[in-house]
Amino acid sequence: MTQLSLSRDGARPTAAPAPTALLSVRNLSIDFHLRTHILHAVRDVSFDLLAGRTLCLVGESGSGKSVTARALLRIIDPLAKVAGGSITLAGPKGEVRLDRLGADSREIRAIRGARIGLIFQEPMSSLSPVRTIGAQIVESVRLHRPMSVADAKAETVRLLKQVEIANPEQMADRYTFEFSGGMRQRAMIAMALACNPEILIADEPTTALDVTTQAEIMDLIKRLQVERGMAMLMITHDMGLVAEVADEVAVMRWGRIVEQGAVDDIFHAPKDAYTRTLLGATQRLDRASTRAAPPTDGPPLLSARGLTKAFGKKSWRGKTTFALTAVDHVDMDLWPGENLGIVGESGSGKTTLGRMLLRVIEPTSGRVLWTPNAAQADSTQRDVTAMGRAGLSEYRRAVRLVFQDPFASLNPRMTIKQVIADPLIVSGTLTKGQITDRVAQLLSLVGLDPTAMERYPHAFSGGQRQRIGIARALALDPQVIVLDEATSALDVSIRAQILDLLLQVQAKLGLSYLFIAHDISVVRYFCDRVVVMHKGRIVETGQAEQICTTPREPYTQALVSAVPNPDPRDKRMLHRTRFVAP
Amino acid sequence: MLGYVIKRILLMFPTMIGMSIIAFFIIQLPPGDYLTSVLAMMADSGQTVDPAEIARMRQVYGLDDPMIVQYWKWISGILLRGDFGYSFEWGRPVSELIWDRMGATLGVSVAALVFVWAVSLPIGIYSAVRRHSFGDHFFTFFGFLGLAIPNFILALVLMFVSYKYFGQSVGGLFSPEYIGAPWSWGRVGDMLTHLWIPVVVVGTSGTAALIRILRANLTDELSKPYVITARAKGLPEYQVIMRYPVRIALNPFISAIGWVLPQLVSGVTITAIVLNLPTAGPLLVRALVSQDMYLAGSFILLMGILTLVGMLISDLLLAALDPRIRFT
CATH number for A187: 3.40.50.300
* A8 confidence band (pLDDT: 50, 70, 90): very low
Bridge partner list, A317: none
A258 and A318 within one domain? no
Does residue A42 or residue A210 have the better pLDDT?
A: A42
Residue ranges of chain B assigned to CATH 1.10.3720.10: 99-326
Whole-prediction pTM: 0.76
Residue of A nearest to B320 (CA): A130
| Three-class secondary structure of residue A399 per DSSP | strand
Using a CB–CB cutoff of 8 Å, tell me whether B232 touches chain A: yes
* A5 confidence band (pLDDT: 50, 70, 90): very low
pLDDT, position A453: 84
pLDDT, position A233: 92
pLDDT, position A1: 39
Using a CB–CB cutoff of 8 Å, tell me whether B230 touches chain A: yes
**What average pLDDT does the segment A59-84 reach?**
83
pLDDT, position A482: 92
Regarding an ipTM greater than 0.85, the answer is no
CA A50/CA A143 separation, integer angstroms: 26
Q: Is B232's CB within 8 Å of A131's CB? A: no
A66 and A110 within one domain? yes
A243 and A191 within one domain? yes
**What average pLDDT does the segment B72-91 reach?**
79
Give tens-digit pLDDT for A171-204: 888 888 887 777 888 888 888 888 888 899 998 8
Q: Print burial letters for A131-165: b (CB count within 10 Å at least 16), e (below 16).
A: bbbbbbbbbbbbbbeeeeeeebbebbbebbebbbb
pLDDT, position B148: 84
> How many separate domains does chain A show?
2
Among A230-244, A505-519, B48-62, B208-222, the minimum mean pLDDT is found in B48-62
The whole-angstrom distance between B137's CA and the closest CA on chain A is 18
Has residue A458 been placed in a domain? yes
* A285 confidence band (pLDDT: 50, 70, 90): low
**What average pLDDT does the segment B317-324 reach?**
83
Give tens-digit pLDDT for B25-74: 877 777 777 777 777 777 777 777 777 777 777 777 777 777 788 888 88
**What average pLDDT does the segment A91-97 reach?**
79
Cβ-Cβ pairs closer than 8 A, A with B, add up to 77
Using a CB–CB cutoff of 8 Å, tell me whether B235 touches chain A: yes
Between strands A365-370 and A382-383, the pairing is: antiparallel
**What average pLDDT does the segment A441-460 reach?**
86
The chain-wide mean pLDDT, for chain B, equals 81
CA A205/CA B311 separation, integer angstroms: 42
Looking only at Cα atoms, what is the longest distance across chain B? 87
Q: Is B231's CB within 8 Å of A191's CB? A: no
CA A218/CA B178 separation, integer angstroms: 75
Give tens-digit pLDDT for B176-199: 777 777 777 777 888 788 888 888
pLDDT, position A4: 41
Helix residue ranges per DSSP H, B130-184: 134-148, 151-166
The whole-angstrom distance between A119's CA and the closest CA on chain B is 8
* A13 confidence band (pLDDT: 50, 70, 90): very low
Q: Is B232's CB within 8 Å of A130's CB? A: no
Q: Which of B9, B10, B229, B328 to mutate to test the interface with A (most CBs of A within 10 A)?
A: B229
A327 and A243 within one domain? no
The whole-angstrom distance between B118's CA and the closest CA on chain A is 23
Has residue A52 been placed in a domain? yes
The whole-angstrom distance between B237's CA and the closest CA on chain A is 6
Q: Is B7's CB within 8 Å of A131's CB? A: no
Q: Is the confidence at residue A55, as pLDDT, over 90? A: yes
A183 and A91 within one domain? yes
A338 and A226 within one domain? no
The whole-angstrom distance between A269's CA and the closest CA on chain B is 37
The whole-angstrom distance between A452's CA and the closest CA on chain B is 31
Taking each helix axis as running N to C, give the angle between helix A133-144 and helix A149-162, from 0 to 180 degrees, rounded to the nearest 10: 110
Q: Is the confidence at residue A297, as pLDDT, over 60? A: yes
Residue of B nearest to A314 (CA): B328
Which chain B residues have a beta carbon less than 8 Å from that of A207?
A: none
A321 and A277 within one domain? no
pLDDT, position A322: 59
Bridge partner list, A382: A370
User: Phi and psi for A35 in degrees, rounded to 5?
Assistant: -60, -40
pLDDT, position A580: 65
Q: Is the confidence at residue A30, as pLDDT, over 80? A: yes
Has residue A10 been placed in a domain? no
Per DSSP, which regions of A268-364 are E strands?
302-314, 320-334, 339-343
| Three-class secondary structure of residue A223 per DSSP | helix
Handedness of CA A148, A154, A159, A162 (dihedral sign): negative
CB distance A258 to A252 below 8 Å? yes
pLDDT, position A250: 93
Which residues have a Cβ under 8 Å from the Cβ of A463 and sit 6 or more positions away? A406, A490, A491, A494, A497, A498
Using a CB–CB cutoff of 8 Å, tell me whether B326 touches chain A: no
Which chain B residues have a beta carbon less than 8 Å from that of A128?
A: 226, 230, 244, 247-248
Residue A392: count of CB within 10 angstroms of its CB:
13
Has residue A26 been placed in a domain? no
Give tens-digit pLDDT for B198-230: 888 888 877 888 888 888 889 888 888 888 888
Handedness of CA A344, A347, A351, A355 (dihedral sign): negative
Please give the CATH topology (third level) of the domain spanning B99-326: MetI-like fold (1.10.3720)
Domain boundary among A285, A316, A344: A285
Among A114-118, A470-474, B276-280, B314-318, the minimum mean pLDDT is found in B276-280
pLDDT, position B77: 81
Q: Is the confidence at residue A167, as pLDDT, over 90? A: no
Range of the domain at A83: 40-128+179-285
Bridge partner list, A304: A332, A368
pLDDT, position B23: 82
Residue of B nearest to A191 (CA): B233
Which residues have a Cβ under 8 Å from the Cβ of A29 and sit 6 or more positions away? A40, A42, A43, A44, A45, A82, A83, A84, A85
Using a CB–CB cutoff of 8 Å, tell me whether B288 touches chain A: no
**What average pLDDT does the segment A490-494 reach?**
79
A234 and A370 within one domain? no
A333 and A405 within one domain? yes
A351 and A424 within one domain? yes
pLDDT, position B237: 86
pLDDT, position A65: 85
Using a CB–CB cutoff of 8 Å, tell me whether B131 touches chain A: no
Q: Is A109's CB within 8 Å of B235's CB? A: yes
Q: Which of B130, B226, B243 to mutate to test the interface with A (most CBs of A within 10 A)?
A: B226
A210 and A185 within one domain? yes
| Three-class secondary structure of residue A89 per DSSP | strand
Q: Is A70's CB within 8 Å of B225's CB? A: no
Residue of A nearest to B8 (CA): A316
Which chain B residues have a beta carbon less than 8 Å from that of A117?
A: 232
Handedness of CA A431, A433, A436, A438 (dihedral sign): negative
Q: Is B324's CB within 8 Å of A110's CB? A: no
Give tens-digit pLDDT for B87-141: 777 778 888 888 878 888 888 888 888 888 898 899 999 999 888 889 999 988 8
